Amino acid sequence: MSPYSYSDYKEYLADIIDKSKGRGRKAAIADAAGCQRSFISQVLNSHVHLTLDHAIGIAHFLRLNPSEIEFFYSMVGEARAATLTLKRFYKDRMRVLKKEGENLSQRLRTTSSDAGLSEYYSTWKFGAIHILCTIPDFQTVAAISRKLELQPVEVELYLNRLKSMGLVKNKGEQWIVIQAEIHLPKNHFMTFVNHRNWRDKNLQEASERPDENVTYSAVYSMSREDFEKLKELVIEFLGKSRSIVASSKEEELVGFSLDCVLYQ
């Protein structure tokens, strides 16, 4: 769950705890901070603040990337600052980090697996089979074959390629994920191939079950200022949607595509 959509670290932590399905989230955060669970409750419900040492421990526990760690650290620093000058310093730094976060290749954690990156994004099948391996009901060749309506020999070929990329491994007939999330850098030459592949596949699925799915397309005339507002809403929505996905039980394969485009 990215902190970029927040300006108050307490709201950020409260949302993480509220959206967690387990009751031990607050205790885990306290353990990462090196303090008592009661102290975290006090922080969230009073004027008491985390220390900067607490902040670093929590940021690492949440597995934030380096820019997100600095943003979270700055939120805590701004809340603790005793002078307007120091508050302004932290706010300015947060503004810069948030702007940089609009580049989704920075906002979303990436994998260092460059080998096979172009191959992985050449077809939707790699991604679909990869993510299906996170779902207990779809961790065999036969189950994936039925789900995607692909031949078993083709599924096995893709699984073995994913294995060679270090993304999945097998224990007998069961295939499980090693690395669940990878993200194509924004400026990679395969980016638009990947977008097109998934949009085509999503439209195919949506046309077969229109009542189950949501699709929407429109073209507007609007001011440049309002376009920037709309773009920011989209970015904020993406951040919030990912927090839902991150804590969600793996049951279904879901395709998601979203565009907000200024025509030049």
Domain CATH for 27 = 1.10.260
Separation between Cα atoms, residue 247 and residue 106, nearest integer Å: 21
Euclidean distance between CA atoms 58 and 52, whole angstroms? 10
CB contact at 8 A, 245 and 251: no
Predicted structure pTM score: 0.58
Q: Is 85 inside a domain boundary?
A: yes
pLDDT at 103: 61
Res 4: pLDDT: 86
Alpha-carbon torsion 183, 187, 189, 194, what sign? positive
Q: What is the pLDDT of residue 106?
A: 47
The residue segments making up the domain with residue 51 are 9-101
Amino acid 67: pLDDT? 79
Mean pLDDT by 10 residues, the chain (264 residues): 88 87 79 92 94 90 82 94 93 88 52 63 93 96 96 94 90 90 75 91 91 92 94 89 86 94 92
Q: At what angle do helices 152-164 and 124-132 cross, to 10 degrees?
A: 80
> Could you tell me if residue 52 is inside a domain?
yes
The predicted structure's pLDDT at residue 62: 86
Residue 226 lies in a domain: no
In angstroms, how far is the first alpha carbon of the chain from the final one? 33
Domain membership of residue 258 (yes or no) is no
The answer as to whether 36 is a domain residue is yes
Looking at the domain assignment, is residue 78 inside a domain?
Answer: yes
The number of domains in the chain is 1
